[in-house]
Amino acid sequence: MALMDNYLPLLVFFAFGILVPVGTIIFIRLIAPRGEYPRKHIPYECGWLPIGTAKIRFNVEYYTYAIVFLIFDVEALFLYPWAVSYKNPLITVPNFTLIACIEMFLFIVILLIGYVYAWKKGALEWIR
């Protein structure tokens, strides 16, 4: 029951969060004036006609950067369940807090090795 109490309102919020902007956009399409001057639909480029497409392919180094991010975000995600359980009084394993802390320490140290490697390789620099 607690599940329903806590998560059903989110469904309503989700519907609201979609309906409010969609409603606004439909509303302005109904009331806003419309002109027939075609030039104003050209993308803005300080008054020049755009040359070529804007949808460029991005430097491949961007992806190593993204992978480093992915690893650390997954690490942060893995920390969440650890954070709530490492000193939970309901867990009766002896020395659980100590064991949990040591394991998390090892986990972070292993990740830090990767972090130092990425730093040395220059993956954390802005793309040259």
How near is the Cβ of 113 to another protein at its closest, in Å?
Answer: 13
Enter the tokens of residue 56: 């460029």
9 touches another protein by CB under 8 A? yes
Measured CA to CA, the distance from residue 105 to residue 103 in angstroms comes to 5
How near is the Cβ of 117 to another protein at its closest, in Å?
Answer: 13
Contacts (CB under 8 A) with another protein, residues 41-80: 41-46, 50, 53-56, 58, 62, 65-66, 69, 72-73, 76-77, 79-80
Q: Rg of the chain over CA atoms, in angstroms?
A: 26
**113-122 contacts, C-beta under 8 A, 24 or more apart:** 114/71, 115/68, 115/72, 118/64, 118/68, 121/64
Beta carbon nearer to another protein, 8 or 117:
8
> Who's near 54: CB < 8 A, 6+ residues apart?
43
5 touches another protein by CB under 8 A? yes
34 touches another protein by CB under 8 A? yes
Burial of residue 2 (CB within 10 Å: 0-12, 13-18, 19+) is exposed
User: Contact residues for another protein (CB under 8 A)?
Assistant: 1, 4-14, 16-18, 20-22, 24-25, 27-29, 31-35, 40-46, 50, 53-56, 58, 62, 65-66, 69, 72-73, 76-77, 79-80, 83-84, 86-88, 97, 101, 104-105, 108, 112, 115, 119, 124-126
